[in-house]
Each structure stands twice: as C-alpha cells, then as structure tokens.
Amino acid sequence: MSDDRKKYKPIKDWRLFVGERVNKERLNKLMSFDFEGIDDLSLDDIFAAHSEMYKRALYAMLMAAEELWGIEKADQLAFQLGYKGGTMGWTKVQKHFKTGKLEPDQIAWYQDMGHLFYGASTKAFSDFDDEKCIVTREKCLYKPPEELGEKGKNWCRNIDDGFMKAYCDCQPGLVMQRTCLFGRPEDLGLKCDLEAMNYTGGTLCQHIWMYKK
C-alpha cells in the first residue's frame, strides 16, 4: 500500500446511525403492523422497517422462484443475485478510486459504505493491514429469516458465494476466504474486537480479502 495517500479509517461504532436504536422486539411489532399509525412511528422505526422489508422481499422472491421452477433454480438465482450485485459494486468502487487493484483499506471502505447503504439490517466490523482486509458481521441483509431454517441458510451461502466469485473475477489475483458463516466467535479464522462491533451473541460471518503472492 502506498504511504503517500491517506488511508481509510473503518467505522468502529454503528450505534448512532439511523435505525440502530430499534431493538428486535420493536422490529417484530413493526413487521406485524402492531402500531397505531404514522404518528406512532419514529424515523428510526421507518428506516429499520424498510431494511427488514428489503430482506423479506428478497427471500419472498427466492421462495416464489422455488414454487415456480424448483429448488435448484432458486439456488441458482440466489447465486446469480450475489454475482450481479458483487460485480456492479466492485467495478463501481474501482472506478471511484481510479484503480484496477483496490488496496485493503479501499476494500474496507467499500464494505463499510455498502453495509451502511443496506440499512439497519446490515452492519459490519472492518479492519485491514498492508496485506489483507477482514470484515466480520453479525447483522446482514442476507441473513435469512429464522422461519426459513436450513433452506434460508443455503440461499444465504449461495448469495455469498456469488459475491465472492464476482469480486475475484473483477480483481485479478484477489483471493477471498470465508472463514465463518452462521458460526460463533470461537469459529472465526481471525479474531476481532467483539466489544467494538457491539456483538450481541448471534451467529457471525467473516471474510478475508488478500492478493496472491
């Protein structure tokens, strides 16, 4: 990494971002339409509910695909959704930084901004050094609703696999490793500061980006 430019400092505390103050109990009420009306809603409520609706619409589409064409086609759709999203995101960030090879801090920037734009349902803890970028997250847009069980988890993995392949196809020499998906802190390939990422005890997902030597 060049020392003549300012390196990105990852977001370490997401708690003040809009929607983050809405707890799971309140979100469940919003999703059940258990409130009086618009006067009973805060901006945090609306933003958190929008993020959750985004997630549910995604998985409703995959369930519809399974009903229409079968589970194999739904699995393929999940992968392709990730691949298309990953391709569009990575190439736009390459254009933003005017480089064909994103440095580890630029990858962290992309991950933080992408997770921020996904809304209150997605927050990550990014870090990097001169050789790699590590992102660990507990909350994610693609983390499936619990009622979908293993099928939902499989769709999440397929989406994730699509993103991973897209990033590596866009960036020659990039190696992306997923060390933990639906795991616990002890399963992480690289340890991270769980207190800094406001870990609440759920399952985790961790990715590592590095370049072939």
Query: Which domains are seen in the chain, by residue range?
Result: 71-211 (3.30.1380)
Is residue 141 within 8 Å of residue 60, measured between CB atoms? no
| Tokens found for residue 13 | 């505390």
| Tokens found for residue 63 | 């369930």
Measured CA to CA in angstroms, residue 194 lies from 75, 128, 172, 177, 185 at distances of: 32, 16, 32, 20, 8
DSSP class per residue in 124-148: EEEEE-SSEEEEEEEE-TTSPPGGG
> CA angle, corner 181, sides to 176 and 211, nearest 5?
10
* Tens of each residue's pLDDT in the chain, 213 residues: 455 678 999 998 888 899 988 999 999 999 999 999 999 999 999 999 999 999 999 999 999 999 999 999 999 999 999 999 999 999 999 999 999 999 999 999 999 999 999 999 898 899 999 999 999 999 899 999 889 999 999 999 999 999 999 999 999 999 999 999 999 999 999 998 898 888 889 999 999 999 987
